[in-house]
Amino acid sequence: MASGDGWIVRVRPHAGRLTRAQAAGIARLAQAHGRGLVELTRRAKLQLRGVAPEHHAALLAGLQALGLVDADAAAEQRRNIVVTPFWRLGEPTPDLAAALAQALAGPLAPALPAKFGFAVDCGPVPVLRATPATIRIERDAQGLVVRADTVPLLARATPHDAVARAMALAHWFAGGGQGAPPPGFHPAPLGCRTAPRPLPGPAPGGWLVATAFGQLQADTLARLAEQGDLRLTPWRMLLVEGARSAPALPGLLTDPADPLLRVVACSGTEGCHQAAGPTRPLARALAGVVPAHGLLHVSGCRKGCAHAEPTVTLVATRAGYDFVRHGKAGSAPDRQALRADALATHLAGAWHATTTTQDAPPHEATDSPLL
């Protein structure tokens, strides 16, 4: 897709995992055909920025050689699967993700809308509940379950039939989601839509490292790939498989108390024609004002690409920055047209006020019970 700094090319690694060779290859391609910059998306994908149109074919060929492009573009679009990064050897997660990808590439796969997605989240505790997905394969105390995200339906499953059940539910949705649900599904309460936001550090399967705004220099990615295979996450972090300590590389956030973990921002005027003002420099400058368990979203416009959940939000406008006390970028602002140089004082006051009243906005929890 076109963007303010050239084309963005998005990559969907299989099962949310990059081998060392694939990660190093992507780094090389980003340097040869883009701005040398790789981004981690909130749907656990990768994207290369600043690709010139005349480089697109060569980039695609390079990605194909790395096994990162499906033979069939429609099948690749259906393969919208987010996978928990915390699986351990012997768990069914990678096999389920591979089988689901295969089923979605098959001739009998239903036509699905672009945003229709799957989550394979079979660890002891679901960690992807806050990540958009239409159908989820999870695990509870009795075993695997397949559930819909927005319809109160659930089926018990085994590692052998979980994908078939997920596909049956996908067919049901593709048919309009009316009438009797597929065999095996019964009414059940919807799952909660929140999950703790993990922090950099040791995690099941390896070590989590974060990036400011999901951006990673290609050189850092290449050096990270020397340390292990990489798993993508929807939290703009990478899990380095098998790592026992934090990789000391430039541009990585490895301190769980780093204030930059408390801000999210889209590319703003630096990379988007629709932006009404800069975002990331402002977010960097304001990160120190955000309290330990807070989250600030700075958006270049009301679309709010960088963060979909309600939180404290600043939205650039032609007249200044709108302030949403607790909401999304498109929510009605509580204050309008604030000057950039007044934002730190305003936010500090707003956070102080919310912590001394009963209606403080709920922030995403940042302490993770994942280990």
Q: Do residues 298 and 283 lie in contact, with contact meaning Cβ atoms separated by under 8 Å?
A: yes
Does 327 contact ligand SF4 by CB under 6 A? Answer: no
Give the number of other CB atoms < 10 A from CB of residue 218.
21
Does 299 contact ligand SF4 by CB under 6 A? Answer: yes
DSSP tag of 109: P
190 closest CA partner among 133, 242, 269: 133
Does 272 contact ligand SF4 by CB under 6 A? Answer: yes
Strand-by-strand arrangement of the 118-121 sheet:
81-83, 118-121, 135-140, 143-148, 153-157, 186-187
Q: Considering the complex, what minimum distance in angstroms separates the CB of residue 289 from ligand SF4?
A: 21
Q: Which one of 22-30, 179-187, 230-238, 267-275 is the stretch in contact with ligand SF4 (CB under 6 A)?
A: 267-275
CA angle 278, 197, 114 (to 5 degrees): 70
Does 266 contact ligand SF4 by CB under 6 A? Answer: yes
Q: Considering the complex, what minimum distance in angstroms separates the CB of residue 78 from ligand SF4?
A: 25
Does 274 contact ligand SF4 by CB under 6 A? Answer: yes
Q: Considering the complex, what minimum distance in angstroms separates the CB of residue 221 from ligand SF4?
A: 22
How many residues sit in the footprint of ligand SF4 (CB under 6 A)? Answer: 11
Does 275 contact ligand SF4 by CB under 6 A? Answer: yes
Does 300 contact ligand SF4 by CB under 6 A? Answer: yes
Give the span between the Cα atoms of 252 and 256, in whole angstroms: 11
φ and ψ at 223, to 5 degrees? -70, -30
Residue among 303, 326, 335, 346 that touches ligand SF4 (CB under 6 A): 303
Q: Do residues 270 and 280 lie in contact, with contact meaning Cβ atoms separated by under 8 Å?
A: yes
Nearer to ligand SF4, 155 or 275 (CB): 275
Partner residues linked to 64 by β-bridges: none
Does 43 contact ligand SF4 by CB under 6 A? Answer: no
Q: Which one of 63-71, 112-120, 125-133, 300-308 is the stretch in contact with ligand SF4 (CB under 6 A)?
A: 300-308
- Could you tell me which residues come within 8 angstroms of residue 152 by beta carbon, excluding any fewer than 6 positions away? 187, 188, 189, 190
Does 19 contact ligand SF4 by CB under 6 A? Answer: no
Q: Considering the complex, what minimum distance in angstroms separates the CB of residue 77 from ligand SF4?
A: 21
Q: Count CA atoms closer than 13 A to 102's CA, side-chain side.
A: 8
Does 156 contact ligand SF4 by CB under 6 A? Answer: no
Q: Which two tokens stand for residue 303?
A: 């679309």
Nearer to ligand SF4, 170 or 266 (CB): 266
What's the 3-state SS for 297-365? EEECCCCCCCCCCCEEEEEEECCEEEEEEEECCCCCCCEEEECHHHHHHHHHHHHHHHHCCCCCCCCCC
Q: Count CA atoms closer than 13 A to 307's CA, side-chain side.
A: 28
Residue among 249, 301, 347, 370 that touches ligand SF4 (CB under 6 A): 301
Does 267 contact ligand SF4 by CB under 6 A? Answer: yes
Does 182 contact ligand SF4 by CB under 6 A? Answer: no
Does 313 contact ligand SF4 by CB under 6 A? Answer: no
Nearer to ligand SF4, 14 or 328 (CB): 328
Nearer to ligand SF4, 25 or 34 (CB): 34
Q: Tell me the residue nearest to ligand SF4 as measured from the CB.
A: 300
Does 308 contact ligand SF4 by CB under 6 A? Answer: no
Residues in the site for ligand SF4, rule: CB under 6 A?
Answer: 266-267, 272, 274-275, 299-301, 303-305
